[in-house]
């Protein structure tokens, strides 16, 4: 090589003699001497220094031939590298010049030896020098098919399932086919804002997605799935998650209202409404309750295995402590199949009439003389008023027949029921009547007959409620009724046994907890 030749680096990995690994490094530069370096035979065996990992911040400044990664098996990067002479026939004193327009890269291949590192047990290599070999299957060019792609969408206000699918670029014929198949199990018009829908796509490549299935949960524990077949038709499947029956206990102290205290304790609204209904024969929830009154409830609940509530069941036991007086009620089914609530003595709680035929209302005006808010003078108020939001359901105070259902004078929309030869009840200022309500219709106690409003002479939405005895209005708060039924004989004995079982279960269940039941 002439002194004017450009620097060219050649590295030769020589044969290892015995247990010693060696390396011959030739550096050829202008006006320099070729230096050969070998390992000391007396030193302990080790990898050539060129194979040892270099600090990451130093490798970038090394010559290419000395970088650790260049000593691994390399694939030719250019035609010049492919034409590099083998170690057997190369003239290392006069390396070939690179073709015009190319850069010389004369790193010779590694000659196999008895201590070939590629055949070594990785466990025998010094720490930090083990390597991992990837198979051809891991190559980006390997033929792999993308897995299913799931997209979860949320139905927005006013949005339809068809619109949602079209917005996701699902072809219109496919979207129509999916919705038509769904109608067999679920009305697509019942989709509500906030409903999650999961779309599953398959694809031969990431640019060509095909809708394969659609699934959603219309109610807790129920899943509906549409699956696309090979003929592009859809089949529908409805699945119900396994349910676990649990008994739940809640109790609390009343500070402002029973309903508010119950919600704060964690009880569901449905159970609170049922408690109001069964206790309303004896307790006026607007006037009788006082600060620090207490309540207890014990009811059934159906949950999924992951703890989500599907529905609340029957109220098994409830108690109210009002002004220091405790009233306990138990659910019981008699030998005739009739279900009702009874006190500890087996006396039925149903009375002839409800004292409060509305839930969650506030008593705003009592029975007696008052200054009329519209007429401006004193006038006898022949009922009691309950303020409540427009549309709040109004219940029949007892079994009976509708005598009147019409708009009349200052009462506005007005309903009057006859319960027996002695009592009638009247309901005024309704916003509207319940469906089917008309004179002559027989209704049951607790059945919805209308909704709160402000028709007639009224300053705001409320229910005007009257109880008439022998066609004359009386104060609903002063009327008391005897129990409608009392258990006897075998029914009473069965009730007492069941009552004790419920009491034991209640005492053993901490408040605010759910206990699985085998029944």
The C-alpha angle 10, 15, 18, rounded to 5 degrees, equals 150
Find the DSSP H helices in 418-515.
489-507
Give every strand in the sheet of 222-228, ordered side by side. Answer: 149-154, 196-203, 209-219, 222-228, 234-240
Asked whether the predicted pLDDT for residue 436 surpasses 90, the reply is yes
pLDDT at position 359, please? Answer: 81
pLDDT at position 362, please? Answer: 76
Task: For residue 243, give both structure tokens.
Answer: 């349910």
Asked if residue 401 lies in contact with residue 445, where contact means CB atoms within 8 angstroms, the answer is: no
Asked if residue 243 lies in contact with residue 221, where contact means CB atoms within 8 angstroms, the answer is: yes
- pLDDT classification of 97: cutoffs 50, 70, 90: low
Asked whether the predicted pLDDT for residue 141 surpasses 90, the reply is no
Question: Which of 77-91, 406-420, 441-455 is the least confident region?
Answer: 77-91
- pLDDT classification of 500: cutoffs 50, 70, 90: very high
Q: Report, as an integer, the average pLDDT of 190-209.
A: 82
Most confident of 74-83, 93-102, 431-440: 431-440
Prediction pTM value? 0.49
Q: Are strands 209-219 and 448-452 parallel, antiparallel or unpaired?
A: unpaired
172: Cβ contacts below 8 Å, ≥ 6 apart: 166
The span from the CA of 319 to the CA of 322, in Å, is: 10
Asked whether the predicted pLDDT for residue 68 surpasses 90, the reply is no
Asked whether the predicted pLDDT for residue 220 surpasses 80, the reply is yes
Asked if residue 68 lies in contact with residue 54, where contact means CB atoms within 8 angstroms, the answer is: yes
293: Cβ contacts below 8 Å, ≥ 6 apart: 253, 254, 258, 320, 321, 322, 323
Average pLDDT of the chain to the nearest whole number: 75
Topology of domain 244-348, per CATH? Nuclear Transport Factor 2; Chain: A, (3.10.450)
* CATH of 149-240 among 3.40.605.10, 3.40.50.10320, 3.10.450.350, 3.40.50.2000: 3.10.450.350
Asked whether the predicted pLDDT for residue 87 surpasses 70, the reply is no
100: Cβ contacts below 8 Å, ≥ 6 apart: none
pLDDT tens column, 347-400:
988 777 887 888 877 788 778 776 666 666 677 888 999 998 999 999 999 888
pLDDT at position 231, please? Answer: 85
The span from the CA of 95 to the CA of 501, in Å, is: 101
Q: What is the DSSP string of 356-423?
A: --SSS-EEEE-SEEEE-TTT-SEEEE-SEEEE--TT-EEE-SSSEEEEEEEEEGGGEEEEEEE-SSSE
- pLDDT classification of 343: cutoffs 50, 70, 90: very high
Asked whether the predicted pLDDT for residue 73 surpasses 50, the reply is no
Beta strands in 142-276 (DSSP E): 149-154, 196-203, 209-219, 222-228, 234-240, 243-253
The span from the CA of 238 to the CA of 249, in Å, is: 32
pLDDT at position 514, please? Answer: 52
pLDDT at position 23, please? Answer: 38
- pLDDT classification of 444: cutoffs 50, 70, 90: confident
Q: Which helix (H) or strand (E) holds 279?
A: helix 269-279
* CATH of 362-474 among 3.30.930.10, 3.40.50.1820, 2.30.40.10, 2.70.70.10: 2.70.70.10
Question: Which of 20-24, 312-316, 461-465, 498-502 is the least confident region?
Answer: 20-24
227-236 long-range Cβ contacts below 8 angstroms, 24+ apart: 228/174, 228/178, 232/174, 232/177, 233/177, 233/181, 234/177, 234/178, 234/181, 234/182, 235/181, 236/181, 236/182, 236/184, 236/185
The reply to whether domains 244-348 and 362-474 share a CATH topology is: no
- Which sequence spans correspond to the domains of the chain? 149-240, 244-348, 362-474
Q: Which helix (H) or strand (E) holds 263?
A: helix 258-265
245: Cβ contacts below 8 Å, ≥ 6 apart: 300, 301, 302, 313, 516, 517, 519
Asked whether the predicted pLDDT for residue 109 surpasses 70, the reply is no
Asked whether the predicted pLDDT for residue 441 surpasses 50, the reply is yes
Q: Report, as an integer, the average pLDDT of 60-83.
A: 44
Answer with the residue of higher pLDDT: 406 or 145: 406
Asked if residue 299 lies in contact with residue 314, where contact means CB atoms within 8 angstroms, the answer is: yes
Q: Coil, helix or strand for 262? A: helix
Asked whether the predicted pLDDT for residue 412 surpasses 90, the reply is yes
- pLDDT classification of 295: cutoffs 50, 70, 90: very high
């Amino acid at each position: 090589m002439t002194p004017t030749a450009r620097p060219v680096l050649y590295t030769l990995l020589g044969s290892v003699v015995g247990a010693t690994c060696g390396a011959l490094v030739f550096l050829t530069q202008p006006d320099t001497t070729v230096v050969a370096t070998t390992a000391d035979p007396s030193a302990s065996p080790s990898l050539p220094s060129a194979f040892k990992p270099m600090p990451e911040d130093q490798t970038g400044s090394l010559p290419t031939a000395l970088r650790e990664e260049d000593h691994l098996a390399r694939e030719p990067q250019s035609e010049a590298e492919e034409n590099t002479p083998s170690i057997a026939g190369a003239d290392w004193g006069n390396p070939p010049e690179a073709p015009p327009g190319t850069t010389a890269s004369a790193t010779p291949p590694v000659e196999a030896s008895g201590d070939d590192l590629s055949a070594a047990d990785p466990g025998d290599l010094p720490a930090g020098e083990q390597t991992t070999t990837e198979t051809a299957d891991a190559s980006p060019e390997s033929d792999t098919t993308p897995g299913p792609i799931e997209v979860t969408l949320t139905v927005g206000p006013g949005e339809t399932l068809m619109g949602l699918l079209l917005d996701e670029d699902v072809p219109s014929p496919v979207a129509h086919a999916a919705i038509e198949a769904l109608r067999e199990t679920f009305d697509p018009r019942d989709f509500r804002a906030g409903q999650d829908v999961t779309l599953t796509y398959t694809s031969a490549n990431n640019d060509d997605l095909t809708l394969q299935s659609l699934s959603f949960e219309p109610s807790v524990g129920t899943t509906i799935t549409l699956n696309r077949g090979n003929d592009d038709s859809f089949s529908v499947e409805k699945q119900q998650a396994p349910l676990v029956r649990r008994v739940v206990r809640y109790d609390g102290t009343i500070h402002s209202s029973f309903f508010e205290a119950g919600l704060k304790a964690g009880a569901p609204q449905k159970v609170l409404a049922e408690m109001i209904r069964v206790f309303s024969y004896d307790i006026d929830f607007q006037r009788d309750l006082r600060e620090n009154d207490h309540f207890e409830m014990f009811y059934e609940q159906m949950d999924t295995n992951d703890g989500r509530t599907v529905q609340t069941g029957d109220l098994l036991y409830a108690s109210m402590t009002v002004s220091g007086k405790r009233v306990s009620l138990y659910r019981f089914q008699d030998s005739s199949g009739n279900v009702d609530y009874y006190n500890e003595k087996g006396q039925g709680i149903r009375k002839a009439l409800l004292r409060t035929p509305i839930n969650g209302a506030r008593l705003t005006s009592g029975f007696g003389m008052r200054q009329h808010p519209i007429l401006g003078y004193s006038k006898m108020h022949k009922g009691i008023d309950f303020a409540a939001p427009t549309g709040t359901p109004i219940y029949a105070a007892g079994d009976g027949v509708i005598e009147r259902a019409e708009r009349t004078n200052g009462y506005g929309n007005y309903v009057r029921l006859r319960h027996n030869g002695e009592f009638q009840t009247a309901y005024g200022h309704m916003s509207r009547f319940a469906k089917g309500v008309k004179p002559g219709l027989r209704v049951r106690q607790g059945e919805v007959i209308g909704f709160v409003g402000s028709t007639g002479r009224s300053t705001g939405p409320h229910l005007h409620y009257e109880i008439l005895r022998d066609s004359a209005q009386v104060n609903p708060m002063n009327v008391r009724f005897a129990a409608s039924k009392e258990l006897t004989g075998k029914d009473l004995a069965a009730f007492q046994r069941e009552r004790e079982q419920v009491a034991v279960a209640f005492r053993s269940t901490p408040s605010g907890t759910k206990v699985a039941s085998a029944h």
